[in-house]
Amino acid sequence: MSGCHCQKPCADCAQPLRVISLGWGTQSFGLAAMSALGALPPVYAAIHADTGHEHKATYEFSARWTPWLEAHGVRVVTVRPAAKSAPGVNAWGGVLLPAYTRGGEGQFGRQCTDDWKRAPIRRWLQANRAGRPVQLWIGITLEEASRTKPADVQYIEHAYPFLGLGVDAPGGKPWKRRFVTEWLQANGLEIPPRSACTFCPLQNRHDWLRVMREPSDLAEAVATDLLIRCQRPPDRLYVLKSATPLWKADIAGQPELDLFGAECSGMCGV
């Protein structure tokens, strides 16, 4: 489906308003950069749902590259959750993270994406779309094609430009993640760090080691691990699959977890 070339939120135009779900990871930044340089069509905005808990390196990257995107015609919008709560726990004490348990249910479902990303983005879309349908671009590449899904509301159409779904893929062929990296490098652009909350239980060993190297990230992750421990008695909750307290875990000895699970902020179905 083609979007409106003017990309203005006017109720008189029935064409979808194109927006990017911008998580500041490789694929979502790739979409924004390709739109900025004309490899993909123009968009009305790239929307970043800031959880408030991203790695320090991601915030530094966004600070460097937001001005560049906007100078090249891609408006960057940052949205945040409506209510401030403690990391990993909502205002009623409920656990939002897909935390691991010892002696209980195995692993909790992930509520953080809904509360911290999907809901804030939808609030912004409803306030700004002026009655127009929305085509939401999500940065999923060929390795993750099974993660594609339709939106659960009628006014949003999910599009996956790297797969050629809803938007023609650059070059006419599906893209793998490494192709996005190569394109960014070929155009003189920086490769983003992986995007995730500092305490995300879906991080792999490499990501946890990165947390360990940054004192502010580590302090938040350890505090969150301790905070959730006794939120669901009689279980004990942990951010590590080994059900080991983060502050004394041997991360280097942990098995690799889901390779793509951590980088959820640019792929959330809104």
Nearest to 20 by CA among 172, 204, 167: 167
- What is the predicted pLDDT for the residue at 108? 73
Nearest to 50 by CA among 82, 75, 18: 82
Q: Give 43-76 pLDDT, tens digit per residue.
A: 999 999 999 999 999 999 999 999 999 999 999 9
Map tokens 């983060």 to a residue.
246
Nearest to 39 by CA among 190, 193, 191, 180: 180
**pLDDT-based confidence at residue 260 (cuts at 50, 70, 90):** very low
**pLDDT-based confidence at residue 13 (cuts at 50, 70, 90):** low
**How close are the terminal C-alpha atoms of the chain, in Å?**
18
Mean pLDDT of 24-43: 97
**134-137 and 100-102 beta bridge pairing:** unpaired
pLDDT greater than 60 at residue 267: no
- What is the predicted pLDDT for the residue at 86? 66
What's this model's pTM, rounded to 2 decimal places? 0.86
- What is the predicted pLDDT for the residue at 189? 98
Map tokens 């793998």 to a residue.
176
Give the chain's count of helices (H) and strands (E): 7, 7
- What is the predicted pLDDT for the residue at 85? 63
Backbone angles phi, psi at 64, to 5 degrees: -75, -40
Average pLDDT, the chain: 86
**100-102 and 236-238 beta bridge pairing:** antiparallel
Alpha-carbon separation of residue 173 from 28, 159, 164, 230 (angstroms): 18, 15, 7, 49
Mean pLDDT of 132-159: 95
Mean pLDDT of 172-189: 96
- What is the predicted pLDDT for the residue at 1? 39
* DSSP bridge pairs for 160: 165
Rounded percentage of the chain residues whose pLDDT exceeds 90 = 65
Q: Are 18 and 135 in contact (CB under 8 A)?
A: yes
Domains (range + CATH), the chain: 17-253 (3.40.50)
Q: Where are the beta strands (DSSP E) in 110-162?
A: 134-137, 156-159
Nearest to 45 by CA among 8, 94, 11, 97: 8
Q: Kindly report the CA angle at 192 between 189 and 196, in degrees rounded to 5? A: 165
Task: Compute the distance between CA of residue 226 and CA of residue 73 in angstroms, rounded to an integer.
Answer: 43
Nearest to 20 by CA among 136, 164, 117: 136
More confident residue, 134 or 86: 134
Contacts of 208 (CB under 8 A, 6+ apart): 240, 251, 254
**pLDDT-based confidence at residue 114 (cuts at 50, 70, 90):** confident
pLDDT greater than 80 at residue 263: no
pLDDT greater than 70 at residue 233: yes
- What is the predicted pLDDT for the residue at 8? 58
Mean pLDDT of 249-264: 52
